[in-house]
C-alpha cells in the first residue's frame, strides 16, 4: 500500500468486546514498525476501555491513537493520556451516535473519525447518510482533520470529499483493485479538488 502511494496506514484493532470481531494487538504493530520505520501508523482502536492500551501501543510504535467515544466513560482523560504518551489523538463515533457529542472534544484532538459502516467487519456497504455529520464538523470546526472509514472507494469518494472529509480510509476497494496506485491517485485527486473548491467558496 505504501509503495502504491498511500499517505499512512490505518490499522484496525478489535478486541471481540467493543466489536464482535477480533484482529491483532500491539505485538503485531511492534513487528511492523521496524519494517516500515517512517510510516504513519493510525491505530483505529475498536476496543472497550481504550485507556488500557495507550502505553503498549505507544511503545509498539503507534503514531496516532484513535479511540471510540462510545468505548470510554471519560473521553477527555483518554485524550490527555494519549497526548502525554507522545501520540496524536483521534476520536471516532459509530453511525448511530449523534455527531454533536464530539463538540466538547474537537479542540483537544488532532482528528475526528466518522464511521460510514458499523465497525467490526470489512467489506460493508457505504452509509451515505453519514455525510451530514462530516459537513457539520467541517462547517463548525474549520480546519480539523476529518477521517472517513467504511465502504470508501472510487464509487463513494466524491460524496466524502464534497462533505468535507480529508483523511480517507479505504480497505476492500484498494485490496481488491487491479491497480491500487491508480485507485489511490484518483481518490486523492477527488479530495484535493474538493478542498480547493471549498477554499475558493470561502
State residue 16's pLDDT score. 86
| Domain-located, residue 2 | no
Number of domains in the chain: 1
| Domain-located, residue 127 | yes
Neighbours of 193 (CB within 10 A): 13
Residues annotated in the binding site for substrate, as ranges? 44, 120-123, 151, 171-172
State residue 199's pLDDT score. 84
| Residue among 42, 103, 110, 149 flagged as catalytic | 149
Query: Distance between CA atoms of 100 and 103, rounded to whole angstroms?
Result: 5
State residue 202's pLDDT score. 66
CA neighbor of 12 nearest in space, from 149, 180, 156, 184 = 149
162 is a catalytic site residue: no
The model carries a pTM of 0.94
| Domain-located, residue 3 | no
Say which CATH number the domain at 182 has.
3.20.20.70
Show the low-confidence residues of the chain (pLDDT under 50).
none
Vertex 198: Cα angle to 3 and 2 (nearest 5): 5
Look up the domain containing 152 and give its range: 9-201
145 is a catalytic site residue: no
| Residue among 7, 12, 15, 38 flagged as catalytic | 12
Segment 44-99, tens digit of pLDDT: 999 999 999 999 999 999 999 999 999 999 999 999 999 999 999 999 999 999 99
Amino acid at each position: 500500500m505504501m509503495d502504491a502511494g498511500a499517505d499512512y496506514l490505518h490499522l484496525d484493532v478489535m478486541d471481540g468486546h467493543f466489536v464482535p470481531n477480533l484482529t491483532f494487538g500491539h505485538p503485531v504493530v511492534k513487528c511492523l514498525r521496524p519494517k516500515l520505520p517512517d510510516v504513519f501508523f493510525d491505530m483505529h482502536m475498536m476496543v472497550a476501555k481504550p485507556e488500557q492500551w495507550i502505553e503498549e501501543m505507544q511503545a509498539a510504535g503507534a503514531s496516532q491513537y484513535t479511540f471510540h467515544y462510545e468505548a470510554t466513560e471519560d473521553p477527555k482523560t483518554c485524550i490527555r493520556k494519549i497526548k502525554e504518551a507522545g501520540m496524536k489523538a483521534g476520536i471516532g463515533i459509530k453511525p448511530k451516535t449523534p455527531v454533536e457529542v464530539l463538540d466538547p472534544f474537537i479542540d483537544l484532538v488532532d482528528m475526528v473519525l466518522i464511521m460510514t459502516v458499523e465497525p467490526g467487519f470489512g467489506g460493508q456497504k457505504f452509509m451515505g447518510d453519514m455525510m451530514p455529520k462530516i459537513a457539520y464538523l467541517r462547517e463548525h470546526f474549520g480546519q480539523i482533520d476529518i477521517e472517513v472509514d467504511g465502504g470508501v472507494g472510487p464509487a463513494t469518494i466524491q460524496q466524502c470529499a464534497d462533505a468535507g472529509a480529508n483523511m480517507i480510509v479505504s480497505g476492500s476497494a484498494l485490496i481488491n483493485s487491479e491497480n491500487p496506485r491508480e485507485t489511490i491517485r484518483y481518490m486523492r485527486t477527488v479530495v484535493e479538488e474538493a478542498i480547493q473548491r471549498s477554499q475558493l467558496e470561502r
